[in-house]
Amino acid sequence: IVLTGGDDRLWKTWGFPDGNILLTGEGHTDWLSGCCFRPSGTQLVTSSGDTTVRIWDLSRRGCILTLRGHSRAVRGCSWHSCGDFVASASMDGTSKIWDVNSERCRYTLRGHEDSVNSIEFLPFSSTVLTSSADRTLSLWDVRTVSRL
């Protein structure tokens, strides 16, 4: 199964090798910039130009949580390997770590001088890697909200 998102504001799961569309999700009001399966495979996260991050339940075929807090488009998203946290990167120059269980922002990472374009958790760690339009990469320890 492959997951895609695009300018049409939709995410889609595709079965391979046939290439059939298995599921489609709608709800964002602007382009999708990122999408990622939860490690358990039962949910996914999407990021969008509409400034939101959304959690989707595949069995319910719908959005179960909308995370708001960025002031500009969200450029990317990533699940932590434990499945309890989501990271987002935004054109507002910040990244956020969201606690999915409490449905709130746990930390805001500030330090880039321009848009944060991507974010990834390093597997099985509390470290996040961000890349920015300011032409820098940063490693962050999300336990202390500091750059490494």
In whole angstroms, give the CA distance from residue 132 to residue 76.
Answer: 11
pLDDT digits (tens, 9 = 90+) for 27-70: 999 999 999 999 988 999 999 999 999 999 998 879 999 999 99
Would you list the DSSP string of 69-126? --SS-EEEEEE-TTSSEEEEEETTSEEEEEETTTTEEEEEEE--SS-EEEEEEPTTSS
Predicted confidence at residue 36, as pLDDT, reads: 94
Q: How confident is the model at residue 137 (pLDDT cuts 50, 70, 90)?
A: very high
Residue 148, pLDDT above cutoff 80: no
pTM of the model: 0.93
Chain position carrying tokens 């799961």: 13
Q: What is the pLDDT of residue 144?
A: 83
Tell me what the mean pLDDT of segment 66-88 comes to: 96
Would the pLDDT of 143 be above 90?
Answer: no
Q: Delimit the domains of the chain by residue range.
A: 32-147
Distance CA 47, CA 53 (A): 5
Counting Cα atoms < 13 Å in the Cβ hemisphere of 53 gives 31
| Class level of CATH domain 32-147 | mainly beta
